[in-house]
A and B are shown apart, each in its own frame.
Chain A
């Protein structure tokens, strides 16, 4: 149990760093959903099933949906951090700089 906890905490911290460091905003949103996933496992380990369920519902479903919808409305999806798209900047090619 001890080493499982250490591993889950390490995954949580690594993906929290990925949220800040990944240059692509959509990838950062995916990483933030991994953060709340690991957090929900930690809540199960410390015997808080109610909180784990709320964190799973909010972090896995709701927060990701809201962030992604907002990114789509902002026109920032598929781009890096710079919001000056070059012409011909396709979705597939934009993630290569990670």
Chain B
């Protein structure tokens, strides 16, 4: 049996990280866990981008004492991912601030409960009776 090359192992890791994050993002119910899943998916994407510049047996793109040690890996994906990581943490903080706001307005961070309370609020604003409105036929709603 021959082992797969190193790049295939790394690409598998990156893709499965992305898939795990994406699955958590579509299936999760807790808003904080959605933020965590977003961070995991982002990590996978960053690894995928840096891997696109990887060459086996190459050196880091930094010159020591001014001499070129040999073939070097591609510096451009590394520079782009550098900024992407910092942007990612800013986005994460913004999402958590929104979660804090949602928790204060609705008292929950569960998507299911949140959606039910949102519907109740909308129906109350539209002047419908609160009990029956969610199961009533659509034709009875005001246009």
Which residues of A are in contact with B by a Cβ distance under 8 Å?
1-2, 5-6, 9, 12-13, 16-17, 19-20, 25, 28-29, 32, 35-36, 39, 42-43, 46-51, 54-55, 58-59, 62-63, 66-67, 70-71, 73-76, 81, 83
Contacts and interface: CB of A to CB of B under 8 A. Distances in A.
B96 to A, nearest CB: 4
Given A46-B10, A48-B78, A81-B30, A54 B100 contact: no
B6 to A, nearest CB: 6
B3 interface: yes
Nearest to B17: A16
Interface in B67-84: 73, 78-79, 81-82
Contacts of A12: 13, 17
Contact of B43 (A1, A9, A36, A62): A36
A5 B3 CA distance: 13
B36 A28 contact: yes
28 contacts: A2-B9, A13-B13, A13-B16, A20-B33, A25-B33, A28-B33, A35-B40, A35-B43, A39-B43, A39-B47, A43-B50, A46-B51, A47-B60, A47-B73, A48-B73, A50-B79, A51-B78, A54-B85, A54-B86, A55-B85, A63-B39, A66-B92, A67-B32, A71-B32, A76-B109, A81-B33, A83-B109, A83-B110
Contacts of B13: 9, 12-13, 42
Contacts, number: 129
B10 A32 contact: no
Interface string B51-75: 1001000111010000000000100
B9 A9 contact: yes
Contacts of A48: 50, 60, 73, 78, 81
B93 interface: yes
A57 B12 CA distance: 25
B28 A54 contact: no
